[in-house]
Amino acid sequence: MKKTRMLIATLVCAVMLMGVGYAWWTDTITLGGTVATGHMDVIFSQASLSGFDSIVGASASLSDDQKTITCNFDNLYPGAQGVLNTGIINNSSIPVKLSNVNVAFTGDVEQLKDHLLVSLSPNSGFVSIDQFVNNTKGNINRLGIGENVNSQIYFKMNEEASNDTTEGKSIGLTITYEWQQFNR
């Protein structure tokens, strides 16, 4: 027998043996799944200023991603005050809660920081920004899905600000609200 024939015969035998192996009965069941995550997205809904007199040059703008409000107060003087009208929307697919509020200052911080006062209501007392931050942290324990909270933040320059230290000064501040998922 030639080698070729021998090889073919061997191959045929192998295939037949494989066929015997496959002939056992089998069955399969499947579990198919898709697991998809949600998202977390909290934004400001608006930013506008009101209440400042015409002496004060005040402006507020909202960033394109609606994550940042920038306010400028020019020519502020002791006793001048106004209000920032804003709102917070929870665009997340889950509820969120306020975890922290941070404030960063720039400019003449030392001279002006303690004289820029803030309040959430014109009827409640004005407090320093540091005190405001501490008060705000516990304010929003839960913001539901799609929930919108309107907010007003009143700013005032302390009437007792002295000429020597506060005239011709400027201060910038960035208030950051940090949010976390409801179950954290």
Partner 1 sequence: MFASSMLQNVVEKLILGGKQMKKTKMLVATLVCAVLLMGVGYAWWTDSISINGTVATGNMDVIWENCEPLLPLVLTGPYIKTDVDASEDAINFTFSNLYPGGFANIDCVAKNNSSIPVKVQRARIDVNADQELLPYLEVAVLFHKLNKNGWPVLGSYGVTDFVPIDKLADVLNSSSLKGMTLNPGERIVFGVPEGEESPYDLDGDGIGEECFLFRVKSSAPNGTMDKDVNFTLYLDFQQVNQQ
**Which of 103, 153, 163, 149 has the alpha carbon at shortest distance from 126?**
153
Q: Which of these ranges, 54-62, 92-100, 102-110, 129-137, lies near partner 1 under the rule CB under 8 A? A: 92-100
Cβ proximity to partner 1, 40 vs 109, nearer residue: 40
Which neighbouring-strand residues pair with 84?
Answer: 49, 153
Strand, coil or helix: 99: strand
Cβ proximity to partner 1, 93 vs 99, nearer residue: 93
Among 17, 19, 27, 65, binds partner 1 (CB under 8 A): 27
- What length does the chain have? 184
Distances (CA, A) of 122 to 60, 151, 174: 19, 12, 22
Q: Which of these ranges, 36-44, 45-53, 77-85, 161-169, lies near partner 1 under the rule CB under 8 A? A: 36-44
148: Cα within 13 Å, side-chain hemisphere: 6
**Which of 106, 50, 104, 107 has the alpha carbon at shortest distance from 81?**
50
Cβ proximity to partner 1, 42 vs 80, nearer residue: 42
Q: Segment 154-183, which members bind partner 1 (CB under 8 A)?
A: 181, 183
Among 1, 16, 20, 36, binds partner 1 (CB under 8 A): 36
- Minimum Å gap between C-beta 23 and partner 1 is 10
Binding site for partner 1 (CB under 8 A): 24-40, 93-95, 145, 181, 183-184
